[in-house]
Amino acid sequence: MTADRLEQRVVISGVGQSAIGRQVDRSGFQLTLDAIGAAVTDAGLTMDDIDGLSMFPGGGTASLPGYASGNLYEVQDALRVTTTWRQGVVEGMSLPFYGAAMAVATGQARHAVVWRTVKEGSAARQAGGRPAYGSTKPAAEGPLAWLLPVGMLSPVVQVAPYAARYMHSYGVTRAQLAWIPVTQRAWAALNPDAVYTKPLSVPEYLAGRMISTPISLYDCDVPCDGSTALVVSAVETAADLRAPVRVAAVAGVVDGRPSWEQWQDMGRVGYATAAALWNRTSLRPRDVDVAQLYDGFTIEAVWWLEALGFCGTGEAGDFVAGGTRIGPGGSLPLNTWGGQLSGGRLHAAFGHTAEAVRQLRGEAGARQVPGASVAAVTNAGGYEAGAALLTAW
Amino acid sequence: MGGPLAGIPPAVTEETREFWAAAAEGRLVAERCAACGAESFPPRGACRACRGRQTASCPVTGAGVVYSLTVNYQRWLPGLAVPFCLVVVEFPRHPGVRVVGRLRGCAPEEAFIGMAVEVGFEPGPGGFAVPSFVAAT
């Protein structure tokens, strides 16, 4: 088969995760090795097959305690592999596997491992609450220099004006958007690795503690400890792989002004990336069987539902109402692992990608979407954004 | 209340020195392009309209309008007094300039999108004066 897009020359061959929880009493480094080992085994490969390594974020950079973990070279040393390609990313990740896919597609590596390790659950515990963004540094640098000094001290507060503007522009209410966290909690109950599995009701959501209007506690993802690793392999190695999943299209466009407060239309996010994605494929929104849409906050899932065209702009409130479309048995099952809101803030769409792969393989257990053959995955929104379509082998 | 706002102070750079110096005197400044006259914010020594590199600081005056807002209830840092309102403000007379700041002069819950505000500052972290808009009466 000829691949007419570069990303179609690669597959996602393995996914692996460490123990995941509010607090896991192992170092981030050990969690990383657990996840990588599991992912390589899951791919049907051995560690000696691995010749590319990529981590997010690279260089140990972090504005939040527990956000970054380790160093790529230490991981390579511990794995005892030889690499022909390495990458540590802060800007420009788009999607977890974007860089690895390009490296493998262009022959720089054959089997590349990508990972993300968080210890934000333990860090929040130590700090006595979710820490201020930027609290790892003495002064606010770059775009944060305009936010942290006035008290915009967390991603929650930075995103909150987007939710306020969206709800104002389109007349959408918290009672409508409640169905995103409520339905994802129902999915989480089917995922033994999810952080929160106890049922959540709309009244409980509406009574939740307000963090920064209109974002309440249940609109925020759950800081956790855990590591997720993915293996990206060249499509011609498929015969060596246990259960590969195809990459049909990947896009990541940064347009407009890449800082939280300067984004021109806070009611519409992700549209340029979505347009680029659909331009790279003949698949259409109606072809998508399952959606893993980034949900650092409820509003981010809203952005992607609308930007990707699953519903019209301003229509997400009606689309998610009652949870019938996005819940079990619905036409667009959303964040079937519980998402970051209930499954845990594994961050940067690593959890979302892992779940998409499991769904497309038919390995999602009690939460399996029958016959899932096309999955949408997105990351972030705002000033970094990535979207992909993965398809079953 | 009383005392400076809790927060994290800004790192001051070549590009932002004039902004913070003006803020200390109660003036809000953006930067204007010598070539095309467009105003840009934050200051980067580069025009966002024509990419010109000859820029100078320019005063931002006149009423602002709240583009969006949030009322923060979470105490992210020790000593952070809550709740408080943060507003994202645009200026009809200064297209291209949008500034985030605190809001004073009304209860946080009374702020709304589209409300008029006046430029102001208050003592912030690290001895810096930070934008703190005032609800227009």
Average pLDDT of span A306-313? 98
- H helices present in A237-315, as ranges: 271-279, 298-307
pLDDT tens-digit map of A43-60: 999 999 999 999 999 877
Closest partner CB to A150 (pick from B98, B113, B130): B130
ipTM: 0.97
Question: What is the pTM assigned to this prediction?
Answer: 0.96
| Closest to A14 in 3D by CA, of A38, A48, A46 | A38
How far does the CA of residue B47 sit from the closest CA of chain A (Å)? 13
B 101-130 residues with CB below 8 A of A?
Answer: 101-102, 113, 124-126, 128, 130
Lowest-pLDDT choice from A60-64, A116-120, A217-221, B6-10:
A60-64
Tell if the CB–CB gap between B76 and A130 is shorter than 8 Å.
yes
3-state secondary structure of A384: strand
Domains along chain A? 6-129+154-392 (3.40.47.10)
pLDDT tens-digit map of B33-81: 999 999 999 999 999 999 999 999 999 999 999 999 999 999 999 899 9
A146 to chain B, any CB pair closer than 8 A? The answer is yes
- The set of residues, in sequence order, having a beta carbon less than 8 Å from that of A117 and lying 6+ positions away, is A18, A28, A29, A31, A32, A35, A55, A69, A70, A226, A227, A228
Local confidence band at A370 (pLDDT 50, 70, 90 cut-offs): very high
So where are chain B's domains?
A: 17-135
Average pLDDT of span A236-258? 95
**Residue B108, pLDDT score:** 97
Angle at B105 between CA B104 and CA B110, to 5 degrees: 90
Local confidence band at A65 (pLDDT 50, 70, 90 cut-offs): confident
Tell if the CB–CB gap between B126 and A213 is shorter than 8 Å.
no
Tell me how far apart the alpha carbons of residues A72 and A74 are, in angstroms, rounded to a whole number. Answer: 5
